[in-house]
Structure 1
Amino acid sequence: MMWDWSFTVEILPMLAEAAVITIQATVLGFIMAAVLGLVVAVLRIAFPRSNLILSILVEFIRSTPLLIQIFFIFFVFPKFGLVLDGFTAGVLAIGLHYAAYCSEVYRAGFASVPRGQWEASIALNLPLKTTLLDIIIPQVIPPIVPMLGNYLVALFKETPLLSAIAVLELMQTAKIIGSQSFRYTEPITLVGLFFLVMSLASAALIHLVERRLNRRPAP
């Protein structure tokens, strides 16, 4: 089947609209993953007794497929009275799934901070909140930005799984266009190009953030 440029131009606005959904799911999911992952890592440090429970929870989430988690939140949660639309359920599943991975990245970052920094804070009788926010976390973030960036790109490429619960993101829209027109070459190719461009843009943004953070003077 030859490439049809007129058909490509015709479907481009529909795919561009679907790309907005994909970007929204990616951004919201990553913000949730980054924040929740940091919270879990801090809890494991501040409350050592919670370490075992949180470790089991993190390993459970990381060891089960994201698609199963999406189905569970979308189809099982309503049985307990929590009904979520497809987009919200998908973002929640993606955010929780990658929060487990991000928490391990943060944990490695905390472990890389010299022990003397913690001991000096204790000797100065600084509150734990001040120690974390003003001394430790500013040293943790810059080295782990590349790894967090990798998870951002990976999360972005996981958004087609949301089509399983009828979220009209890029891949689902392309499949609908293909089923209606019996032409899959153009929509699927365009989806691949969309993902390529947005993945490269995400990687460039991460490199920019990394350079900015590395230029800041150490605390």
Structure 2
Amino acid sequence: MTVNWSWERAADCLPVLLEGFRITLLATVLGFLIAAALGLAIAVVRRTAPAFVTVPLRMVTEFVRLTPLVVQLLFAYYLLPQFSALQIGVAVLGVHYATYMAEVYRAGIDAVPRGQWEAAHALSLPTRRTWRAVVLPQAIRSTTPALGNYAISMFKDTPFLFAITVVEMVTAAQQYGAKTFQYLEPITIAGVIFLLASYPTSILIRRLEKRLAY
């Protein structure tokens, strides 16, 4: 069986793929914002809250980290039918990656020199101000490259949203192929778009890592 590339088919499927890319990008951006904020909250709570809060929280985060993303998507999709598939996908992506980002934040917080904490205490800074003005700026600075890598990983994991009927870019490519019986062009172009979006971002993250190194 001979498979021939057709630029005409490539041009025909491109608008469909770009619409799927819009969904992919939307899910990634919103999911990352949720993950970054929730992950930071989890890290701070686990560092400051009493054991009766941190122990159950640690168990929940471990459960989320150790179960497949697809299972979590399907569970939430059938449990929460009142929400759209995209809303559920964004939320699950955010919660799933928040458990990983929480560990990154925790490492960043632990990396803040003890002298910084002692200096804030010596100046009688309130606990909230110590976190806001002293600890978190340093922790977030050191963890920014790692968070960027998780953003790329989330972007590449968006095809899993097909499990809950979200038509992101890969699903759009598959649907086009099923309709025309031509998969080469849509799947190839989808892969190229992923590469064109991910590679410059990875270069930017590496440069940012070098600039933030101290």
Range class of TM-score, shorter chain: over 0.9
Structure 2 partner of 1:21: 23
Cα deviation for residue 48 of structure 1 reads: 3.4
1:27-106 matches, within 5 Å, as: 27-49=29-51, 50-78=53-81, 83-106=82-105
Structure 2 alignment gaps of length 5 or more: none
Identity across aligned pairs (percent)?
Answer: 44
Number of residue-to-residue matches in the alignment:
211
For 2:80, what is the secondary structure of its paired residue? helix
Measured in 2, the distance between the counterparts of 1:211 and 1:131 equals 27
Does the 8 A contact of 1:37 with 1:101 survive in 2?
yes
Structure 2 partner of 1:113: 112
Deviates more, 1:43-52 or 1:25-34: 43-52
For 2:44, what is the secondary structure of its paired residue? helix
Measured in 1, the distance between the counterparts of 2:156 and 2:210 equals 24
Cα deviation for residue 210 of structure 1 reads: 4.2
Q: CA RMSD in A?
A: 1.6
For 2:83, what is the secondary structure of its paired residue? coil
Question: Aligned match of 2:10 in 8, 12, 18?
Answer: 8
Measured in 2, the distance between the counterparts of 1:61 and 1:146 equals 23
Measured in 1, the distance between the counterparts of 2:44 and 2:70 equals 28
CA deviations over 1:55-111 (Å, ceiling 9, x no partner)? 111111100000011001111234xxxx21010000011000000000000001111
Measured in 1, the distance between the counterparts of 2:186 and 2:156 equals 17
Measured in 2, the distance between the counterparts of 1:211 and 1:14 equals 38
Measured in 2, the distance between the counterparts of 1:202 and 1:85 equals 29
Structure 2 partner of 1:125: 124
Deviates more, 1:203-212 or 1:36-45: 203-212
Structure 1 partner of 2:153: 154
For 1:188, what is the secondary structure of its paired residue? helix
Cα deviation for residue 39 of structure 1 reads: 0.6
Cα deviation for residue 205 of structure 1 reads: 3.9
Measured in 1, the distance between the counterparts of 2:175 and 2:199 equals 26
Cα deviation for residue 46 of structure 1 reads: 2.1
Cα deviation for residue 51 of structure 1 reads: 1.9
Structure 2 partner of 1:197: 196
Q: TM-score, normalised by structure 1?
A: 0.91
Q: TM-score, normalised by structure 2?
A: 0.93
CA deviations over 1:166-206 (Å, ceiling 9, x no partner)? 11110110011000000001000011001111111322343
Structure 1 alignment gaps of length 5 or more: none
Does the 8 A contact of 2:104 with 2:143 survive in 1?
yes
Structure 1 partner of 2:142: 143
Measured in 2, the distance between the counterparts of 1:114 and 1:87 equals 42
